[in-house]
Structure 1
Amino acid sequence: MAQTLPKPTKTLSLDTAVILASSGGVPSTGRGAEGSSPFRQVAGLSVFQRAVFTLQRAGFSQVLVLAGEEEDELRRLLKDDPRLFIPVRWRPTREFPPEEPKTWHALAGEVEGACLVLGGHLVFTGSLAELLREQVRNGQTALVVSSAGDHKATRGTGAQNLQSSPADGSVADMLIVPAGWLGHCGGTGAGSPGSRLLIGEALRSTPLPGLLDQALVNGGLRTVATSAVSPHWYQEVRDAPGATRVENLLLRSLTSELDGVVDRYFNRKLSGTLTKLFLRMGLSPNAITIVSMVIGLMSAACFALGSYTAGIIGALLFQFSAIVDCCDGEVARLTFTESPFGAQLDITADNIVHMAIFAAIAWAQYASHGEWLSLALGLCAVAGVAGSQWLVDRARRLRRSGWSQPDQAGRSNALLSHIANRDFSLVLLAFAVTNTLDWFLRLAAIGSNIFWVLLAWITRPSAPARV
């Protein structure tokens, strides 16, 4: 007679993940073997590193790793890594074989609440890990995360992806099991023959499918359906084509809410190729920021020459600089190397380029026409950008410490989103093509000063809240 699984007496939390590093595909055949899934590189990180950092970013407080002969090399991947601040606990499979129930009985004592169990061959989004934690907090005690193929893909988010039972043909590669159930593991196998739930290779030899079959019988099992068209996805990485596919998915997910029209439909389409190149070269996000700034300064040098052709070349170089400027953030997010210094460097480099371009156009106009007005307009534009830089730094400090008025936060964030918008590059190109850079200089002188005045007004200490 089937055993009855204990019902949790309180709301559970999902803070622990168990990675089956030895079940991820082709066995390792030497130090860091490329054929072994946990070691395969995807967007600058190994699959194993990416899993650990994604779990950490999603709020998990510890990771347990069941590893075989690859343990030493996996340890080296994380050793002294400043990005890692949660404990990673190692359990050698010679002492904790994943196919043995006693292993899971032992792990039950190391888990509070529920645990996420997954193979070492998976890449998944942080939003999926956050969704799973939310579902457990909302009272879902047993979950399987399945992929049903694109023809059954669900585009919803959150609870819209939650199904009462597994769909036909769905494959489960990630499981969430309450800690109290782990002590009831017995036997092995991929579940009952009539089960509609297909267990993925990494989990198939563990005793966990039997627990899930029992939960399915008792009506306590739910499925989170995922696909590549959902923001909550996971993908297997077992070979080079799989790594390339997942890398492309990760790049497509790197859009920002601050992206303008040019970023969404042009810059991001091209920056992905450069981002892959920079990752293979091992360039840091800050180094890419400097590359973007140097290209921008080359653009300013072209504008200073004053000819129509030089202006077109300058505008195209500035557009190229804007594309490269997308890459520093993409590399930072892909490699979990975002930093306050990097964000500050990015803004400062952008403003240095803008000031150089405004000054170069002003000089070219003065050299061509001998009008002091051009120099005055250039000075106004440069001063406007410098004032904006100071106020943007101040607004960012206020945002970190907390606004005195909620209304200030909304208006300031709306205004700051415009300074991160790269549509400005297309505007400059249009003025260069139409040979009206003198009018661009006028608009820049006016616009940059209007911006800092508005930001100064919004962030003033005495700004009242709207009622």
Structure 2
Amino acid sequence: MDKLTKVSIFPLIRQVSLRVSPLIIRLPVSANQVTTTSLLAGVGACWYLAKGTYETTLTGALLFLIYYILDNCDGEVARAKNQSSEFGEKYDTFVDWVVHAGFFGSLGWGVAQETGQNIWLWLGLFGAAGGSINYLTGIYIDFRFRQHLGEEYDSTGRSHHDEAPAPKGVKQWTVFILRELLRADFCFIVLFLALFDVTWFLLPTAAVGAHVYWMTQFIRGARDYHV
């Protein structure tokens, strides 16, 4: 636990992962293996969400929560075991894309099957497309900056600051809340909606929000914030 960073109450998922990571650190597993396990949990979540019933959606939401916990744990394990690497960072980002794109597509499929209305599938696919554009845009931006800065470039923005910069003003706070806080604790939103059988609400929201999200990458300093 010595090498695990102390954090404020938000994001809530970090409060969970900081208690799980010390247990994982004692196991003979690498950070990348934790990432792979999170991928399996995420794919399992998508499988259950695609079935569309209340019970399977709730099961999918719980697996999605496990994915989020492990997704936070892999970085904490990497830092504690000195296993941080460029491959690990890219692998983690790839898994995030696969799971989130799959999440919206599977949720849309499940709701469409349950209601008989294909509009829900299209909304889910549009949300998944937004997540895919965000992933590819991030790769492109990283490539351009790496060409310009070489080894000095840090895609996380962490190396440029001793501490994460505090957002100032309405625009910076809006970007911070959208890109960091809501994203980090998205699993709890999903679980809450699943309990009340209203996860369909995420589909029209994501159909717009996922595209707003990738556009914020072009706001100056947006990638400097992290939680």
Shift of 1:454: 2.6
Which structure is higher in strand share?
Answer: 1
Instruction: Calculate the TM-score normalised by the size of structure 1.
Output: 0.39
The alpha carbon displacement at 1:393 in A equals 2.0
Q: What is the aligned partner in structure 1 of residue 22 from structure 2?
A: 272
Task: State the SS of the aligned residue for 2:184.
Answer: coil
Structure 1 residues 243-282: aligned runs within 5 Å = 248-250=1-3, 253-255=4-6, 260-273=10-23, 275-276=24-25, 279-280=26-27, 282=28
Structure 1 position 386, deviation (Å)? 0.3
Q: Distance in 2 between matches of 1:260 and 1:347?
A: 21
Aligned residues of 2:21 and 2:77 also touching (Cα < 8 A): no
CA distance in 1, matches of 2:178, 2:200: 27
1:426 aligns with 2:176: no
Alignment of 1:188-337 (within 5 A): 248-250=1-3, 253-255=4-6, 260-273=10-23, 275-276=24-25, 279-280=26-27, 282-337=28-83
When residues 419 and 321 of structure 1 are mapped into structure 2, their CA distance, relative to the original with a 3 A threshold, is: same
The Cα of 1:444 is off from its aligned counterpart by 1.6
In structure 2, give the amino acid aligned to 1:254. Answer: T
Question: Higher helix share goes to which structure?
Answer: 2
Q: What is the letter of the counterpart of residue 372 of structure 1? A: N
User: How many residue pairs are counted as aligned between the two chains?
Assistant: 198
Structure 1 residues 357, 330: CA separation in 2 closer, same or farther (over 3 Å shift)? same
1:272–1:327 Cα contact (<8 Å) kept: no
Does the aligned pair in 1 maintain the 2:49–2:106 contact within 8 Å? yes
Shift in Å, 1:338: 0.8
Counterparts of 1:27-426 in structure 2, within 5 Å, are 248-250=1-3, 253-255=4-6, 260-273=10-23, 275-276=24-25, 279-280=26-27, 282-400=28-146, 401-402=148-149, 418=180, 421-426=183-188
Alpha-carbon distance, 1:377 to partner: 0.2
Kindly indicate whether the alpha-carbon contact (under 8 Å) linking 1:362 and 1:378 is maintained by their aligned counterparts in 2. Answer: yes
**Per-residue displacement from partner, 1:214-257 (whole Å, max 9, x unpaired)?**
xxxxxxxxxxxxxxxxxxxxxxxxxxxxxxxxxx333xx33479
Match status 1:445 vs 2:195: no
> Measured at CA, do residues 293 and 260 of structure 1 come closer, stay the same or move farther in structure 2, by a change above 3 Å?
farther
Q: Deviations over 1:182-229 (max 9, x none)?
A: xxxxxxxxxxxxxxxxxxxxxxxxxxxxxxxxxxxxxxxxxxxxxxxx
Shift of 1:421: 4.3
Q: Which runs of 5+ in 1 are unaligned?
A: 1-247, 403-408, 460-467
Instruction: Give the superposition deviation at 1:343.
Output: 0.4
TM-fit CA distance, 1:286: 1.5
Partners of 1:454 and 1:398 lie apart in 2 by: 17
- Match for residue 224 of structure 2? none
**Residue deviations 1:88-115 (CA, integer Å, cap 9, x gap):** xxxxxxxxxxxxxxxxxxxxxxxxxxxx
CA 1:446–1:437 in structure 2 vs 1: closer, same or farther (change >3 Å)? same
CA contact (8 A) 1:392 1:416 kept: no
Question: Under a length normalisation based on structure 2, what TM-score does the superposition of the two structures give?
Answer: 0.76
Percent identical pairs in the alignment equals 26
Amino acid corresponding to residue 269 of structure 1 in structure 2:
R
Cα 1:260–1:346 change in 2 (3 A) is: farther
Distance 1:424 1:416, change over 3 A: closer
Q: Distance in 2 between matches of 1:311 and 1:265?
A: 25
Please tell me the residue identity of whatever aligns with 1:249. D
- How far apart are residue 390 of structure 1 and its match? 1.2
- Partners of 1:336 and 1:357 in 2: CA distance: 31
Contact kept, 8 Å, 1:271 with 1:323, in 2: the verdict is no
TM-aligned CA distance change 1:295 to 1:272, over 3 Å? same
**Contact between 2:53 and 2:114, CA under 8 Å: does it hold in 1?**
no
Partners in 2 of 1:426 and 1:270 — Cα distance?
17
Higher relative contact order (CA 8 A, sep 6+): 2
Question: How far apart, in 2, do the equivalents of 1:255 and 1:373 lie?
Answer: 44
Which protein shows a greater Rg? 1
What's the RMSD between the two structures over aligned residues?
A: 2.8
Q: Which residue of 2 aligns with 1:458?
A: 219
CA shift for structure 1 position 415: 8.3
Deviation at 1:327, TM superposition (A): 2.1
Could you tell me which amino acid in structure 1 is paired with residue 5 of structure 2?
Answer: L
What SS class does the counterpart of residue 378 from structure 1 fall into?
A: helix
Displacement of 1:414 after TM fit? Answer: 5.0
The runs of 5 or more residues in structure 2 that have no matched partner are: 150-156, 158-164, 166-171, 221-227
